Structure 1
Amino acid sequence: MPARKVSKIITGRYTIDGAGVKLFRLFSNNEAHLFDPFLLLDSFGSDNPADYIAGFPWHPHRGIETVTYMINGEVDHGDSLGNKGTIKSGEIQWMTAGSGIIHQEMPQETPGRSIGFQLWVNLPAKEKMCQPTYRGITADEIKEAKIGDATAKVVCGKVNGVTGPVHGLFVEAEYLDISLPAGKSMSHKTHAGWNVFAFVYSGSGQFGTGKEPVKEGQVALFGEGDEISVIANGQLKFLLVSGKPLREPIAWGGPIVVNTQEELQHAFEELQLGTFIKHKKI
């Protein structure tokens, strides 16, 4: 198959979520069909604690997985499974909401700039009501692989003999955090038929066969093919994420993503009735 070209570039937009957290939203429900099986990507970064300290108090999720990755900063978390802890710099929380979980994520004041990302991954229809699980991944569990002139932290997937620490996913996916020095280039084989995107969080570069310019705060969605190429203008850092699409209907209401409007209505009815949580209560 041919190498991939960039089919769409999206510039993120500021929004307010949680209890008043200022976020940079790259894509969400309006674009989710393009990124299948991925639903949403948020970037949060500020040197002003007022932008993030209010956090995300207790709230529900169903039908998705959330992947929270901290580059710099700390987030305290707790959930209805009884998990408590802190996501520190370089660490990841991979949470499977499944049949339903209630959790909170509360950023802590950070010296310098707080930087992190949250990605939502859709669950297949047959797994929407699976048992909720939580995985905390420390920085030393995330190994690095070389891709040409680039260095990639492998969160999930396998790259040049390096396997990411996240296994047993409900969707087939690859999640890389890539650093490419100024003026250097890389190419990376991707699975044909998978959706692939890159989110530039520092610097700028040229992406795909057309060498499309993509800068900090933008997502490049790639078209069909089995390889992507990147050239760094200056020092470039970006997330490279790919996954096998589910091609299933989506019914989305806030923190809940199911397949039909009836399922969505039922989920919110359960929240009101106090029957939303299916796992053993802690």
Structure 2
Amino acid sequence: MNAIAQTQPARIVRKVRGMPTSDGAGVKLTRVIGGPELPDLDPFLLLDEFGTDKAEDYIAGFPAHPHRGFETVTYMLDGRMRHKDNHGNEGLLTSGAVQWMTAGRGLVHSEMPEQDSGRMRGFQLWVNLPAKDKMTAPKYQEFAPEKIPVAQPKPGVSVKVIAGAVGDVAGPIAQPATDPVYLDIALDAGAAWEYALPEGHNAFLYAYEGTATVGEGDDGRTLETRELAVLGGGPSLSLRAGAQPARVILVAGRPIGEPVMRYGPFVMNTKQELMQAFVDFQEGRF
């Protein structure tokens, strides 16, 4: 999947900076996808980065709230988050853990910090589901940090493989509907790496530490810290860190190409389905 063929290079077609916002019971975060500048990138509906050393920015957490019709992906870089839902599921996400939750036909869950000091840092991604899967039974794919494999494709490059594959190293997450790639890439200063994206997927990079250049020579464009790059062109991605080490996430997925009708925690295909989601939630059918 990641052997570089004679293909067109990937390039940055658009750069986006996130907007400060709050969610849950006032948790401060940066919304990168899902705001006015980039409402979505099929199949991705939302990307939030949260990261602070101030407990008052996160301690209130995300009390019980509903979801229907899509998936949430929580990747913890630092800190601990306890999740519970109304189906009896409960677990603790620790530093480096990943939870891929398929809300399907509906559930009510909470995500609450299990610390009152120190650093809380990570990402939450929302991934759409096709119409045929929107009313499936809810399920979780949850993996502790030791279950997330790390590939070292060359000196100075380390890749946590959450979904997709790097060489023979495959991530534990599987979702046939969108065939996702989710990589956390660490580059030493000046280190470079090439990766072949799945053809036809929509893809983005987000730099959360340091800077990185996408492309070679005169075609290269720099991605600054806390910038998101929407990728286009071909599937051959060339990535190089700047003068300091860099950390970026690379996310890609097969577009669904269906109408999206969304409001708050519900994402359906039609207005009627969206209204039905509110009725079902209010009548306790989640």
- The aligned amino acid for 1:180 is L
Aligned to 1:280: none
Q: Is the 8 A contact 2:194 2:238 kept in 1?
A: yes
Aligned to 2:192: 185
**Aligned-pair distance for 1:217?**
1.1
Q: Is the 8 A contact 2:46 2:127 kept in 1?
A: yes
Aligned to 1:215: 224
After TM superposition, the runs of 4+ consecutive aligned structure 1 residues lying more than 6 A away are: none
Q: Is the 8 A contact 2:77 2:95 kept in 1?
A: yes
Paired residue for 1:248, among 235, 258, 262?
Answer: 258
Aligned to 2:213: 206
* Helix, strand or coil at the partner of 2:240: strand
TM-score when normalising by structure 1: 0.94
Q: Is the 8 A contact 1:11 1:26 kept in 2?
A: yes
Distance 1:110 1:145, change over 3 A: farther
* Helix, strand or coil at the partner of 1:266: helix
Structure 2 CA distance, aligned partners of 1:224 and 1:215? Answer: 20
Aligned to 2:49: 43
Aligned pairs (5 A) from 1:34-183: 35-109=41-115, 111-148=117-154, 149-183=156-190
- The aligned amino acid for 2:29 is L
**Aligned-pair distance for 1:85?**
1.8
Aligned to 2:233: 224
Structure 2 CA distance, aligned partners of 1:207 and 1:147? Answer: 18
Q: Is the 8 A contact 1:74 1:110 kept in 2?
A: no
Unaligned runs of 5+ in 1: 278-282
Paired residue for 1:8, among 6, 10, 14?
Answer: 14
Structure 1 CA distance, aligned partners of 2:172 and 2:54? Answer: 32
Aligned to 1:24: 30
Structure 2 CA distance, aligned partners of 1:111 and 1:182? Answer: 31
Percent of residue pairs identical: 43
Aligned length: 275
Structure 2 CA distance, aligned partners of 1:195 and 1:140? Answer: 29
Paired residue for 1:236, among 227, 246, 251?
Answer: 246
Q: Deviations over 1:150-200 (max 9, x none)?
A: 211000112100111112443211110100000111111111211111111
Q: Is the 8 A contact 1:193 1:224 kept in 2?
A: no
Q: Is the 8 A contact 2:78 2:122 kept in 1?
A: yes
- The aligned amino acid for 1:204 is T
Deviates more, 1:213-222 or 1:174-183: 213-222
**Aligned-pair distance for 1:29?**
5.9
- The aligned amino acid for 1:46 is T
TM-score when normalising by structure 2: 0.92
Aligned to 2:201: 194
Does residue 263 of the first structure (1) align with residue 278 of the second (2)? Answer: no
Structure 1 CA distance, aligned partners of 2:123 and 2:275? Answer: 29
**Aligned-pair distance for 1:147?**
3.4
**Aligned-pair distance for 1:32?**
4.2
Q: Is the 8 A contact 1:200 1:216 kept in 2?
A: yes
**Aligned-pair distance for 1:208?**
3.1
* Helix, strand or coil at the partner of 1:191: coil
* Helix, strand or coil at the partner of 2:233: coil
* Helix, strand or coil at the partner of 2:10: coil
Structure 2 CA distance, aligned partners of 1:20 and 1:111? Answer: 17
**Aligned-pair distance for 1:265?**
1.0
Q: Is the 8 A contact 1:77 1:106 kept in 2?
A: yes
- The aligned amino acid for 1:241 is V
**Aligned-pair distance for 1:224?**
2.6
Structure 1 CA distance, aligned partners of 2:238 and 2:70? Answer: 30
